[in-house]
């Protein structure tokens, strides 16, 4: 998809790709402890390998460290112990080139138009203006924002603002996309449709995706693999392969195997959520 958002990263300083066969991104024995008078052990130890081009989702009870996991993999937070790598290089305290993050909260810049929001990172990276225009125009069309290109975020719905944030990340052509509950504030119907768009993006960009979500059906529908996390400190208690073909969409929810996947995820999530709430599973 050379004309779209995918293709060779042309942002200056783009890192070379890791050797084939090695994980695209990985965590080894990663923990995160928030220091203080009463230190909080938020995460880990976590071991995770993401294959290049894989769609991996993480589900877990509230407060289990899912967002911390994203922050650590992105380089937005430093692990207390363990090693994080991206394309074979260590990640610590700085977001490496090639990683894009979409956050749960509305992260659009309210003082910029949709177009300027999407172009923000490209302009800061010194990308050629003609290339900025090409990528932004493509992203605006791709995300269904053409009629709102000159609008400010305040004039958009929550879902549209989230699309702006996704587009702003995607125009950077990240090879690893980290999504921290990007559809958390949307209704179920919009979430499913946004999920379809996300799958389309994933196929077109061929990026590796790590998605954090509360929604089991979203995880089951979108992912190649789903990791279920325990109550805090979050660790993986199950890794599940969905076996879906790469060409898929939200019609998967009617598949026979879909219910089995969500049921297995729910059995973990229920038990861990009860633990997180201080109760024991019956």
Partner 1 sequence: MSRGRAVLASRVGLIVGSIALLEILCRTGVINPLTLLPPSEMAVAMVNLLASGKVAPDIERTFSTVAIAFALSVVVGIAAGAVLHAIPRLRRALDPLLASYYAVPFFVFYPVLVAFFGLNEMPLVAIGFAAAMVAMAISTLNGLDRVPPVLIKVARMHRLGRLRTLFLVVVPAAAASLMTGMKLALAYAFISIIAGEFILSGKGLGYQIAYAYNSFDNKTMYGLMLFVLLVATAMNSLLHMWEQRLLRRRSRA
Interface ranges with partner 1 (CB under 8 A) = 74, 76, 94-95, 97, 99-101, 103, 105-107, 109-111, 120-121, 124-125, 152-154, 169
Q: Which is nearer to partner 1, 65 or 220 (CB)?
A: 65
Closest CA to 262 of 206, 220, 233, 225: 220
Report, in Å, the least distance between residue 101 CB and partner 1: 5
Q: Which is nearer to partner 1, 49 or 97 (CB)?
A: 97
Report, in Å, the least distance between residue 75 CB and partner 1: 8
Cα-based distances in Å from 189 to 160, 186, 193: 14, 8, 6
Q: Which is nearer to partner 1, 152 or 266 (CB)?
A: 152
Report, in Å, the least distance between residue 111 CB and partner 1: 5
Q: Which is nearer to partner 1, 43 or 102 (CB)?
A: 102
Report, in Å, the least distance between residue 46 CB and partner 1: 20
Q: Which is nearer to partner 1, 107 or 221 (CB)?
A: 107
Q: Which is nearer to partner 1, 85 or 169 (CB)?
A: 169
Question: Left (φ > 0), alpha (ψ -120 to 50) or beta: where does 96 sit?
Answer: beta
Q: Which residue's structure tokens are 């297995």?
A: 264
Task: Report DSSP state, residue 53.
Answer: T
Report, in Å, the least distance between residue 94 CB and partner 1: 7
d(CA 64, CA 57): 15
Report, in Å, the least distance between residue 70 CB and partner 1: 10
Q: Where are the alpha helices (DSSP H) in the chain?
A: 66-74, 114-124, 129-142, 158-170, 188-205, 216-222, 256-276
How far is residue 20 CA from its own chain's centroid?
23
d(CA 105, CA 230): 23
Structure tokens at 111: 């003082």
d(CA 57, CA 202): 13
């Amino acid at each position: 998809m050379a004309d779209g958002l995918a293709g060779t990263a042309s942002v200056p300083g783009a890192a070379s790709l890791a050797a084939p066969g090695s994980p695209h991104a990985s965590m080894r024995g990663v923990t995160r402890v928030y220091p203080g008078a009463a230190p909080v052990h938020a995460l880990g130890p976590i071991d995770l390998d993401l294959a290049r081009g894989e769609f991996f989702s993480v589900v877990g009870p509230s407060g289990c460290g899912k967002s911390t996991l994203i922050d650590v993999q992105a380089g937005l937070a430093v692990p207390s112990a363990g090693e994080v790598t991206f394309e074979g290089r260590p990640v610590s305290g700085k977001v490496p080139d090639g990683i894009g993050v979409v956050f749960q909260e509305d992260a659009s810049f309210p003082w910029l138009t949709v177009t300027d929001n999407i172009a923000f990172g490209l302009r800061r990276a010194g990308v050629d203006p003609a290339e900025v225009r090409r990528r932004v125009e493509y992203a605006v069309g791709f995300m269904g924002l053409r009629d709102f290109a000159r609008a400010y975020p305040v004039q958009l719905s929550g879902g549209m603002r989230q699309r702006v944030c996704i587009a702003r990340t995607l125009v950077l052509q990240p090879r690893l996309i980290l999504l921290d509950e990007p559809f958390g504030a949307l209704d179920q119907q919009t979430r499913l449709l946004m999920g379809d768009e996300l799958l389309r993006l994933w196929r077109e960009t061929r990026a590796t995706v790590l998605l954090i979500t509360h929604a089991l059906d979203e995880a089951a529908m979108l992912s190649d693999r789903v990791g279920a996390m325990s109550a805090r400190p979050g660790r993986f208690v199950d890794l599940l392969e969905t076996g879906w073909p790469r060409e898929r969409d939200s019609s998967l929810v009617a598949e026979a195997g879909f219910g089995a996947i969500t049921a297995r995820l729910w059995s973990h999530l229920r038990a861990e959520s009860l633990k997180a709430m201080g109760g024991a599973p019956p």
